[in-house]
Every structure is written in structure tokens, then in C-alpha cells.
Amino acid sequence: GDSVTQMEGPVTLSEEAFLTINCTYTATGYPSLFWYVQYPGEGLQLLLKATKADDKGSNKGFEATYRKETTSFHLEKGSVQVSDSAVYFCALSYYTGTASKLTFGTGTRLQVTL
Amino acid sequence: DGGITQSPKYLFRKEGQNVTLSCEQNLNHDAMYWYRQDPGQGLRLIYYSQIVNDFQKGDIAEGYSVSREKKESFPLTVTSAQKNPTAFYLCASSPDREDGGYTFGSGTRLTVV
């Protein structure tokens, strides 16, 4: 079946460091790919998405490119801030004709220190 | 503002009791979902509904039940048959279109005491 694999955390960085969180997927077709972020005690928020190969999603300084050849969707940010500390989830979805079903990775916790 | 409201935020249940978690959305989304989140395991799908009066089991439906009598509402009942119900429960909705990402509620933390 479909699956998403993320690098294990926690990832600990100093403020203004470069961030990469790796995400690879296994899928039989061509899913849409997403990054969600979860702050402590809250639900998930959509961070960015890409719906086809070579698309780049971006939001709030975060970027990820849909790489079909490597089945990857790595999350990057050039300069992290303390406020970026959260858990990040990579996910894929297929549209079934009536609904999109999301499959999530296990999440990667990011801790940014001063 | 449109969004999803989950209540209560914290819920305590005694062993052998059924409890119902509320989820309401005013986004006019067709599809709604319930996920369970446990530490280190990501999110697992319990049930989902694509349309009123219809719903399907997800990956871990045993011990749970749902209803979808109105488009806006998708309550989840955690029954006494659920052996390990302590978890964080998240409700979500999505529009009926191909690139629709999910909108999540803020979650309900259920603890068995």
C-alpha cells in the first residue's frame, strides 16, 4: 500500500540555520503531496502542497519540490526561527472521485534554539 | 471565520463508558474524517464520510462508531470495546475536489481514568 517515510527527530537547530526534513513516499500512482505543521496542543495546519511532478510548494519561507524520479518531497527552509519549533508531517493523498484520503508520515519534531 | 470546532478539548472517561467527541464544520466541505494520534505513530484514520448518511471504516475503526446526519457534523463515539482509547483525536474536513488539502480541528485529548 501507499506509505510515507520521514526522517526521525528530533531535529535540533540554532536560529538562522538551514533546515532539511527528508520525506520519501511509496505510491502506485501519482499522488498529491503535502507538508502539515502541528504546534503543541493544536491540530494540524497545511503548510504547503504540490499536486504533480516538479511542482514546488512554498509558504512562510518553507519549500518542497515534488520529485517523481526519487519519490521524494523534502522540506527546506533557509533560516529557521524559534517560532518554527513544531512537529512537521509529510503526507500524500489520492482523489477517489468523491474524497481525498491522506496518508501521513510519523512526523518530525523540530526544535530551534537561540 | 470558517473552520472546524472540536469539543471538548479535554475529556476523561471511566473504564466501561462510552463517550462522544463532537466535530462541527462551517466550511461547506463534503468530506469529513477522524484521526487518532499517538506519540511517535503519526496519524491513523478511524472513519471518514464523503456524504451525509454515508461513512466508511478507516484503518483502525474497531471500538469506534460515527454518524453523519448533517453535512456540518461528524461525531465520534469511543465505545467500551476500544481497548486503549487514551489518545489525541483529530477531526478534519476537505472539499470535494482533487487538490483539496484537509482543514483540521484543534483536537480532543481523551484520557481513561
Chain B segment 8-67 residues within 8 A of A by beta carbon are 30-31, 33, 40-43, 45, 48, 50-51
Ranges A53-62, B41-50, B68-77: which has the least confidence: B41-50
Distance from CA of A35 to the nearest CA of B (A): 10
Distance from CA of A42 to the nearest CA of B (A): 5
Distance from CA of B14 to the nearest CA of A (A): 23
How many C-beta neighbours within 10 Å does residue B3 have? 14
- Nearest CB to B42: which of A49, A89, A93? A89
The three grid cell numbers given for residue B65, joined into one nine-digit string = 462508531
Interface touch B41/A106, C-beta < 8 Å = yes
Q: Is B90 on the interface with A (CB under 8 A)?
A: yes
Average pLDDT over chain B reads 91
Interface touch B99/A51, C-beta < 8 Å = yes
The three grid cell numbers given for residue B108, joined into one nine-digit string = 480532543
pLDDT reading at A102 higher than 80 = yes
pLDDT at A101: 78
- Which residue from A87, A98, A1, A94 is spatially nearest to A38, judged by alpha carbons? A87
Beta-carbon contacts of residue A35 (< 8 Å; ≥ 6 apart): A23, A46, A47, A48, A49, A57, A62, A64, A73, A75, A88, A89, A90, A91
* Per-residue pLDDT tens over the stretch A77-93: 999 999 999 999 999 98
pLDDT band (50, 70, 90) for residue B44: very high
Side-chain-facing half-sphere of A81: CA atoms under 13 Å: 5
Q: Is A1 exposed, middle or buried (0-12, 13-18, 19+ CB in 10 A)?
A: exposed
pLDDT at A1: 78
Interface touch A99/B94, C-beta < 8 Å = yes
Interface touch A43/B104, C-beta < 8 Å = yes
pLDDT at A33: 94
pLDDT at B32: 93
* Contacts with A101 from chain B: Cβ below 8 Å: 45, 48
pLDDT at B65: 97
Residue length, chain A? 114
pLDDT reading at B1 higher than 80 = no
Q: DSSP letter for A84, please.
A: G
pLDDT at B100: 60
Indicate the SS3 state at residue A99. coil
Beta-carbon contacts of residue B39 (< 8 Å; ≥ 6 apart): none
Cβ-contact B105, A42 below 8 angstroms? no
Distance from CA of B51 to the nearest CA of A (A): 9
pLDDT at B24: 97
pLDDT band (50, 70, 90) for residue A30: confident
Mean local confidence (pLDDT), B76-94: 93
pLDDT reading at B20 higher than 80 = yes
- Which residue from A85, A37, A35, A25 is spatially nearest to A64, judged by alpha carbons? A35
Mean local confidence (pLDDT), B30-50: 90
How far, in Å, are A14, A61, A95, B35, B48 from residue B97 at the CA level? 40, 27, 7, 20, 16
- Which residue from A27, A70, A62, A31 is spatially nearest to A46, judged by alpha carbons? A62
- Which residue from B21, B17, B18 is spatially nearest to B32, judged by alpha carbons? B21
Task: Name the residue with higher pLDDT: A98 or B18.
Answer: B18
**Among B97, B104, B106, the residue to mutate for chain A (most A Cβ within 10 A):** B104
